[in-house]
């Protein structure tokens, strides 16, 4: 205990000797508290008080009495669990096929697997309606079936699985690719067959990654709002949608806050398990020895069976997004598929302001989020100060908090003076910045851990201060992580819906809200046109950023 106190004193003394870092740490703690912790406190506070601001459990009693709301909670957990299990299974099989089956066209299949990350999450839901709905291309057009249960569990599960499949694939692709093939060779040399090698070597080594992936998908699915809003329907209530309707339809903030707390708790539990328990259980199999395998892990029959599986998954993903482009040029989807440009004229007439607003918000919040993420990553990796773990947990907390909860929290926290921000550009920008910094922090942390601290120590030896070292040495070295954070922040800001839908106003609207509005009104072709413009903007930004990064890296290499 004495050693811990002494260590804390030494850290505090070291911090006092560096005023720049001290001020930075204090400012970041204040910002994290105001824009991440304080909104959550307001959600809890509102749900546990009555109309006279006295402590009360009446709201929870009322909410728990409602069988419809309880069903919404059960359905949310059910969908999250199914998405975690099915998405992880498909992602693992896809990643295993890519890494161990020797398939042709691997680069193409990898690119297709990542496509859903670039598109708005609810575009999958829109495609599901166009493919399997009342006038669906597959159900009605091919099979003549007009009563397929697209609204409810089945349609929602298809959309959720497609939306979060890339997360599972990326994680498990990293896990399987780092398992040394020489371990399989050793098992084969000991007379094991291919099934035994898979179940005794590959699968056990992948367990931590599989468990982590399932928890991440559980959190992502539980936090999702767009897909359930479009596909859940009144017969299959989902808690995130119910909380939104309780606030926007019934104007009942207390009940909405209680539902938000109900939704938040399982997300937080899963986040803590993923980060602080499963996340630390990893098996290291990289030995520095040759990693090429002389024996194929799968038989020729299994190879082509896996190829068929990967091909079918890829074709379905492509179909999901190709149908959006086709629908954008259809006069009235499902009734009159004559090609036309009228939908785009409509979008540019009715939705031009929302396009401008979305671009303004994304371009404003993206660099702030990326820079803040890099600064926090730098502090966490390179500096020693009291409360470092608290900063890390708090800054990553927004990943675990469902967007619905964040949106409700921002309404409650910033609707009164001195922080009266509701309806302004500022509240949307702050929401985007603090919602999407975790990726920047994790990217920056991962890259900084690979950079030898001696490089920065050399700069300190030559008399540079912290600001100079970060700007002239550290930041150039972590440019790839910085631009990854930029891409992620921009894409998420352009496609945000769950928290942002609570914060839009007559002055500031978003394309995603327009897409949902058009879908609810049955104007699927117009919704597709909005989606296509959104997708094109995202791809244009990614292309420009890629060229800029290429030129920046070339410039740095030239200077060296």
User: What pLDDT score does 499 carry?
Assistant: 85
User: What pLDDT score does 10 carry?
Assistant: 57
Sign of CA dihedral 464, 466, 467, 470: positive
User: What pLDDT score does 288 carry?
Assistant: 45
| Cβ-count burial 268-284 (b if 16+ within 10 Å, e if not) | bebbebbbeebeeeeee
User: What pLDDT score does 286 carry?
Assistant: 47
The Cα 508–Cα 510 span in angstroms is: 7
CA 226 to centroid of chain Cα atoms: 13
User: What pLDDT score does 287 carry?
Assistant: 46
Name the burial class of residue 304, with classes exposed (0-12), middle (13-18) and buried (19+) by CB atoms within 10 angstroms of its CB: middle
Q: For residue 333, give the 3-state DSSP assignment.
A: coil
Query: What six digits make up the tokens of 394?
Result: 């708090």
Name the burial class of residue 333, with classes exposed (0-12), middle (13-18) and buried (19+) by CB atoms within 10 angstroms of its CB: buried
Which pTM was predicted? 0.85
User: What pLDDT score does 292 carry?
Assistant: 53
Nearest-5° Cα angle at 232, 231 to 236: 155
Residue pair 495/121 in contact by the 8 Å Cβ criterion: yes
User: What pLDDT score does 296 carry?
Assistant: 64
Query: What six digits make up the tokens of 167?
Result: 């997360």
Predicted confidence pLDDT, tens digits, the chain (560 residues):
454 455 555 555 656 667 778 888 999 999 999 999 999 999 999 999 887 778 888 888 888 888 888 999 999 999 999 999 999 999 999 999 998 888 889 999 999 998 887 777 678 888 888 888 877 888 887 877 777 778 888 889 989 999 899 989 988 888 888 787 888 888 888 888 888 888 888 888 888 888 888 988 998 898 888 889 888 877 899 998 999 888 887 788 888 899 999 889 999 888 888 777 765 555 545 444 445 554 567 788 889 999 999 999 999 999 988 899 999 999 887 777 788 999 999 999 988 999 999 999 999 999 999 889 988 988 888 888 888 889 989 998 887 888 889 999 999 999 888 888 888 899 999 999 999 898 888 878 877 776 777 777 787 787 777 777 777 777 777 777 778 788 888 988 888 888 888 888 878 889 988 888 888 888 889 999 999 999 899 989 888 887 877 665 555 555 55
Q: In terms of Cα–Cα distance, which of 265, 266, 171 is closest to 214?
A: 171
């Amino acid at each position: 205990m004495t050693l811990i106190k002494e260590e804390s004193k030494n850290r505090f003394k070291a911090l006092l000797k560096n005023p720049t870092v001290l001020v930075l740490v204090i400012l970041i703690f204040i910002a994290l508290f105001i824009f991440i912790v304080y909104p959550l406190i307001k959600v809890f506070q509102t749900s546990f008080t009555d109309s006279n601001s006295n402590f009360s459990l009446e709201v929870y009693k009322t909410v728990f009495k409602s069988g419809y709301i309880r069903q919404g909670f059960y359905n949310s957990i059910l969908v999250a669990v199914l998405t975690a299990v099915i998405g992880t299974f498909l992602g693992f099989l896809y990643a295993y096929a890519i890494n161990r089956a020797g398939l042709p066209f691997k680069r193409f299949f990898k690119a297709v697997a990542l496509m859903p990350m670039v598109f708005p999450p609810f575009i999958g839901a829109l495609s599901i309606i166009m493919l399997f709905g009342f006038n669906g291309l597959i159900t009605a057009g091919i099979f003549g079936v007009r009563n397929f249960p697209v609204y409810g569990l089945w349609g929602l599960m298809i959309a959720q699985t497609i939306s979060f499949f890339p997360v599972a694939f990326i994680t498990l692709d990293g896990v399987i690719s780092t398992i040394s093939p020489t371990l399989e060779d050793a098992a084969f040399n000991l007379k094991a067959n291919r099934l035994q090698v898979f179940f005794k070597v590959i699968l056990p080594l992948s367990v931590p990654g599989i468990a982590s992936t399932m928890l991440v998908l559980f959190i992502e699915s539980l936090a999702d709002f767009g897909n359930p809003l479009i596909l859940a329907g009144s017969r299959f209530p989902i808690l995130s949608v119910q909380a939104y309707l309780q606030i926007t339809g019934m104007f009942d903030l207390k009940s909405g806050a209680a539902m938000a707390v109900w939704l938040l708790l399982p997300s937080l539990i899963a986040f803590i398990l993923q980060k602080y328990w499963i996340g630390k259980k990893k098996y290291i199999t990289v030995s520095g020895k040759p990693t090429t395998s002389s024996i194929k892990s799968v038989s020729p029959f299994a190879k082509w069976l896996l190829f068929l599986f990967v091909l079918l998954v890829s074709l379905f993903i492509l179909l999901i997004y190709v149908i959006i482009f086709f629908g954008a040029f259809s006069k009235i989807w499902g009734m009159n598929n004559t090609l036309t440009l009228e939908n785009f004229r409509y979008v540019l007439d009715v939705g031009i302001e929302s396009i401008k607003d979305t671009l303004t918000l994304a371009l404003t919040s993206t660099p702030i989020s990326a820079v803040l993420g890099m600064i926090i990553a730098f502090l966490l990796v390179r500096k020693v100060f009291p409360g470092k773990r608290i900063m890390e947990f708090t800054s990553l907390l927004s990943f675990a908090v469902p967007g619905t909860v964040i949106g409700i929290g921002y309404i409650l926290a910033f609707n009164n003076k001195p922080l009266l921000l509701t309806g302004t550009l500022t509240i949307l920008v702050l929401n985007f910045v603090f919602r999407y910094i975790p990726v920047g922090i994790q990217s920056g942390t991962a890259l900084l851990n690979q950079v030898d601290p001696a490089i920065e120590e050399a700069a300190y030896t030559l008399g540079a201060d912290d600001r100079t070292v970060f700007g002239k040495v550290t930041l150039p070295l972590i440019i790839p992580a910085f631009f990854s954070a930029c891409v992620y922040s921009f894409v998420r800001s352009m496609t945000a819906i769950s928290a942002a839908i609570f914060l839009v106003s007559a002055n500031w609207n978003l394309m995603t809200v327009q897409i949902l509005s058009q879908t609810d009104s049955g104007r699927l072709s117009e919704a597709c046109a909005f989606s296509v413009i959104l997708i094109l903007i995202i791809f244009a930004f990614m292309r420009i950023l890629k060229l800029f990064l290429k030129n920046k890296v070339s410039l740095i290499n030239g200077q060296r």
